Amino acid sequence: MKKNIAVFASGKGSNFEAIAKSARSGTLKVNLALLVCDNPGAPVLAKARKLGVKILLVKRGDFAQKKDFEEAIIRELKNNKVGLVVMAGFMRMLSAQFVRSYKGSIINIHPALLPSFKGAHGIKDAFDYGVKVTGVTVHFVDEEMDHGPIILQKEIRIKESDTLKSLEARIHKLEHILYPQAIKMIAQARVKVSGRKARITGR
């Protein structure tokens, strides 16, 4: 039976689109049950409609407290029998209570080699710092920002000719490959977590 997943996104949705297309083609054997979005102007919404993915548009301003906002999301996740939450540019930090509710079942992608260059500007921060190598990290979400056991990492060497724009394009291209790979491994129960580490088993 295919695992039901929900993708959380607030912006353009390029990772959402890569995941959705992988699921549609059958290379990723999951059921993309829900897009969760908090931004009514997000381009990802049009992509979800075009791909026929159910949308939960939930605006923080409609709720008095963050707790109520998150409880509304959790209700829909349960209604859609979601077993894996996939963060893909959702621009809100989840509370510790939310993370505990889905412990071991929330993943995130970050455009740098964690633990380096945490935060919202991982690509720019790495580029401005002048490192020679950066990359992409897929990791489980815990109660700290850009933290939790790492599932997959892939390096990208920064070229002398790279601009911030060209580096961003290369990072995003890698994200669109790496994220579906990580989800596939989880769906196949090949990712085992022990303490603070995740390991991949089998093929």
Pick the CATH number of 109-203 from 3.40.50.720, 2.40.37.10, 3.30.750.24, 3.40.50.170: 3.40.50.170
pLDDT in tens, 81-95: 999 999 999 999 999
pLDDT in tens, 108-118: 999 999 999 99
Let me know: does 199 contact 189? Beta carbons within 8 Å.
Answer: no
Q: Say which amino acid occupies 133.
A: V
CATH class of the domain whose range is 1-102? alpha beta
Above 70 in pLDDT, residue 203? no
pLDDT grade for 202, boundaries at 50, 70 and 90: confident
Task: Report d(CA 42, CA 44) in Å as an integer.
Answer: 5
Q: Would residue 172 show up in a list of annotated catalytic residues for this protein?
A: no
pLDDT in tens, 142-154: 999 999 999 999 9
Q: pTM for the whole thing?
A: 0.95
Q: Catalytic residue among 110, 121, 139, 172, which? A: 110
Encoded tokens for 99: 């993370």
pLDDT in tens, 15-62: 999 999 999 999 999 999 999 999 999 999 999 999 999 999 999 999
